[in-house]
Structure 1
Amino acid sequence: MTQKRPVLVIVCGYSSGAFLAQEFDKLGFDCIHITLNRLASLKAFRINQNDYIAELIVEDETKIEDCIKKLQTYHPTGIIAGCECGVLLADMIAAHFDVYKNESEISLARRDKYYMIEQLRKQGLTAQKQIKTNILSDIFEWQKQCQLDRIVLKPLKSAVSDNVYYCTTQRETEAVFQSILNEPTVYNEVNTEVLAQEFIDGTEYIVNAFSFNGKHQIIDIWQGVNNTPDLVSNDLYADLIGQSEAVHQKLGNYTKEVLTALGVKYGASHSEIRINSRGIPYLIECGVRLSGRIYSPVLEKLYGESQYSLLLKMYTDPNVICEFLKRPLSPTHKARYVYFKSNIDGLIKEDVNLASFYQIPSLVYVDLPLKKGDWLHKTCKVKKIHRPGFAYLLASTEEKIERDYHKLIELEQKTYEDIIR
């Protein structure tokens, strides 16, 4: 086989990884897509076939022998997880090639939320109490023994807050348990067990990092703000935490310990962490992949680089990564990531006029992909109806951010009313 361009393998190139193949093509790489059979038939997991020179479909993460044989003819220079559902499979494949890879012996700890927390405990890091089981009474007994008033129930392997609930009463726990067990995740993987964890009451943060040769650089940290803390994934917005703030150092140091404990050597990571009332950080979960639903040019304006740009350079100019890891980072602006939320529903009768949004002084990017003929859904976590979009505000002061935030929310709600009336 004659091969003129180096080949990269994108595993599950969806969500945050949907445009990786296009970007690598511009840089002189051919890309092969690998996906799981349980995803191939789902509408939510489609790729542009023109972005790839080939696509391979594997039955599951344990049946990859034929896939490895086919890939060996291409001599791939890299194996990259496109999104959360590709993390474990990418690890399994990378173990067979001379490419950048994370510690394969503990791959499951980077995907399975139970083993993830147990790996932290094994390494002496703070870790919440937990149990995984397919028997409801086990959870009741565990909760009683641990003297926990409130617990969290979730699938072992999923994403985007899929079936994650806070439970206080046994009735709530039973209802949620039954809704998770033996049901498919967003990745069409059946939940054979349910994970129950101690509820960590405190402030939640998002920490995005990049690793190279076992060295970790914290890029951006965001603090979530909401007015209904009893609901999962219900933030109104997230504010960027500056490097000079004390909590930044605490979160940064803890995240680096987490990444090392989880065997992360290379690439992007996205960690959700809570700091409790005593100031102790706890990992909620860590995704060893690009942060989802983020607009990289905004991060590049703030820091000069983003996870996305660094991932591209890891295969084209790794010296840039080495220099970036040494560099102290400080954002050029104050920033706020705003989550959109629709309080109404109806048939969309006209396209959204985004130009009006850009009249807001500090708004630098808005994503509101609503089109004429679509149905605007009322945002509801319980019914798994997710947010319709998001926006970034950047300004020199917090006062300007706050002023424009209220303008943005007012315009957002008016827009929903205008497009369905």
Structure 2
Amino acid sequence: MRSSQVPPVAVLVDAYTTGNHLPPAFAKLGVDVVHVQSTPELMTSMRLPDLSAYRAVIPYGTPAETAERLAEFAPFCVVAGQEPGVPLADELSERLGLPGNGTALSAARRDKYEMIEALRRAGVRCADQIKSGSTEDLVAWAEERGRYPVVVKPLSSAATDGVAICRDAEEVRKAADAVLGTVNIFGEHNDEVLIQSFLDGEEYMVDFVSYDGERYACCIWQYHKKLKGTHRIYDRDSITPPGTSPATEIIAYMHEALDALGIQYGPTHAEVIVTPEGPVLVEVGARLSGGLLPDFHDICLGANQADVTALAFTRPRDFLDRYANRTYRKLTEATWILLATDRDGVVESIDQDVVAEIEALESVHTFVPKLAPGKRVRPTVDLYTATAAVHLHNRSAEALERDAARIQQLKDRIYRLRDDMGCAA
């Protein structure tokens, strides 16, 4: 006889992009989800939520109105699905009396200037910085400081949007002017710009899940980037072996940083640079990693951030017993490649023979072209202008490198572009 019991409910705020992995993660545990939208219109700059996966969809409203609507579902948690949803998730969990990070430090979890200042107040190693709505103030800070390069970036964007490494005053001026007065990938106006000291060292992606201050280190991937003008563009990532240096130092540092930011619950995705003085936070988002691919991470690391997040909120005791104060494992050689290009044009078609060759490579787990016919290919300057993503894993490091090299040889043959006469090239 089928039970008439209504499943418990988790609330997801702005479950764009990899936030789409949360509904199936909760569903595995017998939990329904309700979606909350923090903006009047859906943000089309990101992959939209699959709203068919939700028991209910709550449109944009004030936090008080939204909390009142949610109360009828008696939710047991509120989780941010993507960056813009972090402040609202903080406020809703607080209003509903649910486990969460609270609102006292919400601004520091979105505004990158406030983020680093929160670390400074807590005595956690961090970059030097100022923010300003004046290009000349930013240039003056860099000149008075007298140490180049410096980093110029928007206050609240992601995916290296608008980030520039500047070697002199003119590059600072150009980078700041390129950001001020524009709109970031989340539709927010860039009225001020952040400038920071350059952190010299290798960069790492560091993902955690926390519950009541107890944490699981989901993964540490080393970024391999290429400098292109004033932009460092993603090339590929590789797993940092756990239990070794610098993984142990990064994990210890991130506990301090997350505590300083008041992050005691939920998933986090951070970038950290290991400088000669030790790890230093670039930034952290209180949401899932943008690079999360659950089945790939299961194969490579033994677990994935979406499933662990759902478990932490749904069955805290199980999370504490199985994951708290533990780290990922390295189960195989793996890499995630973001394909870059110098080409510029409109996609006429995708060469399916090239796609088939890439997908047939031994190490390829997933190949995702990011552009469809009719879309514009632009020279790559950030994550959003990469042309495709490829996840690879293999027991053999040599085989993995062989397949990665072949993909680089094929990358500019994936798309046929129209020439100036409208013909495919």
**What TM-score, normalized by structure 1, do the two folds share?**
0.89
Pair 1:40-2:42 in alignment? yes
* Aligned residue identity for 1:239: S
| Structure 2 counterpart of 1:161 | 160
| Alignment deviations for residues 75-133 of structure 1 (CA, whole Å, 9 cap, x no partner) | 21110101111111111111112322114321211111011101111111111111112
Task: State percent identity of aligned pairs.
Answer: 26
Pair 1:65-2:67 in alignment? no
Q: How does 1:10-409 map to 2 (within 5 A)?
A: 10-25=12-27, 27-37=29-39, 39-40=41-42, 42=44, 44=46, 46-58=48-60, 63-228=62-227, 231-276=230-275, 278-322=276-320, 323-327=322-326, 329-344=328-343, 345-350=345-350, 352=352, 354-371=355-372, 373-375=373-375, 377-381=377-381, 386-409=385-408
SS of residue in 2 equivalent to 1:275: strand
* Aligned residue identity for 1:348: E
Instruction: Return 223-232 or 71-80, whichever deviates more.
Output: 223-232
CA distance in 1, matches of 2:64, 2:71: 11
CA distance in 2, matches of 1:200, 1:43: 29
Instruction: Return 284-293 or 312-321, whichever deviates more.
Output: 312-321
Note closer, same or farther for the CA distance 1:107–1:337 as it changes in structure 2 (3 Å cut): same
Note closer, same or farther for the CA distance 1:223–1:230 as it changes in structure 2 (3 Å cut): farther
Instruction: Return 123-132 or 314-323, whichever deviates more.
Output: 314-323
Note closer, same or farther for the CA distance 1:385–1:12 as it changes in structure 2 (3 Å cut): closer
* Aligned residue identity for 2:239: L
Instruction: Return the offset for 1:17.
Output: 0.5
CA distance in 2, matches of 1:208, 1:319: 21
Higher RCO structure (Cα 8 Å, ≥6 apart): 2
Instruction: Return the offset for 1:411.
Output: 3.3
Verify the 8 A CA contact 1:352 1:370 in the aligned structure 2. no
Note closer, same or farther for the CA distance 1:332–1:146 as it changes in structure 2 (3 Å cut): same
CA distance in 1, matches of 2:74, 2:235: 46
CA distance in 1, matches of 2:289, 2:103: 22
Note closer, same or farther for the CA distance 1:229–1:350 as it changes in structure 2 (3 Å cut): closer
Instruction: Return the offset for 1:3.
Output: 8.7
| Alignment deviations for residues 110-166 of structure 1 (CA, whole Å, 9 cap, x no partner) | 111011101111111111111112223322332233333222221211111121112
Instruction: Return the offset for 1:233.
Output: 4.3
| Alignment deviations for residues 368-391 of structure 1 (CA, whole Å, 9 cap, x no partner) | 2554x3436144218x86112211
CA distance in 2, matches of 1:414, 1:305: 34
Verify the 8 A CA contact 2:122 2:260 in the aligned structure 1. yes
CA distance in 2, matches of 1:25, 1:338: 30
Instruction: Return 184-193 or 395-404, whichever deviates more.
Output: 395-404
* Aligned residue identity for 1:377: V
Note closer, same or farther for the CA distance 1:394–1:43 as it changes in structure 2 (3 Å cut): closer
SS of residue in 2 equivalent to 1:236: strand
CA distance in 2, matches of 1:338, 1:93: 37
SS of residue in 1 equivalent to 2:98: coil
Note closer, same or farther for the CA distance 1:328–1:346 as it changes in structure 2 (3 Å cut): closer
Note closer, same or farther for the CA distance 1:58–1:376 as it changes in structure 2 (3 Å cut): closer
Instruction: Return the offset for 1:329.
Output: 3.9
Verify the 8 A CA contact 1:377 1:385 in the aligned structure 2. no
* Aligned residue identity for 1:365: T
Instruction: Return 234-243 or 179-188, whichever deviates more.
Output: 179-188
CA distance in 2, matches of 1:351, 1:320: 47
* Aligned residue identity for 1:304: G
CA distance in 1, matches of 2:197, 2:350: 46
* Aligned residue identity for 1:176: A
* Aligned residue identity for 1:291: S
Instruction: Return the offset for 1:283.
Output: 0.7
CA distance in 2, matches of 1:91, 1:317: 20
Note closer, same or farther for the CA distance 1:215–1:232 as it changes in structure 2 (3 Å cut): farther
**Structure 1 runs of 4+ off > 6 angstroms?**
none
Note closer, same or farther for the CA distance 1:37–1:104 as it changes in structure 2 (3 Å cut): closer
| Alignment deviations for residues 6-52 of structure 1 (CA, whole Å, 9 cap, x no partner) | 22211111111124235434543332222233543746464343333
* Aligned residue identity for 1:311: T
CA distance in 1, matches of 2:306, 2:43: 28
Verify the 8 A CA contact 1:363 1:392 in the aligned structure 2. yes
* Aligned residue identity for 2:311: K
CA distance in 1, matches of 2:230, 2:175: 14
Verify the 8 A CA contact 1:225 1:235 in the aligned structure 2. yes
CA distance in 2, matches of 1:151, 1:99: 41
Note closer, same or farther for the CA distance 1:174–1:329 as it changes in structure 2 (3 Å cut): closer
CA distance in 1, matches of 2:366, 2:282: 28
Note closer, same or farther for the CA distance 1:275–1:334 as it changes in structure 2 (3 Å cut): same
Give the number of aligned pairs.
Answer: 414
Verify the 8 A CA contact 1:77 1:98 in the aligned structure 2. no
CA distance in 2, matches of 1:159, 1:245: 29
CA distance in 1, matches of 2:244, 2:28: 39
Higher strand content, 1 or 2: 2
Instruction: Return 255-264 or 346-355, whichever deviates more.
Output: 346-355
Instruction: Return the offset for 1:71.
Output: 1.7
Verify the 8 A CA contact 2:226 2:232 in the aligned structure 1. no
SS of residue in 1 equivalent to 2:324: helix
Verify the 8 A CA contact 2:347 2:374 in the aligned structure 1. yes
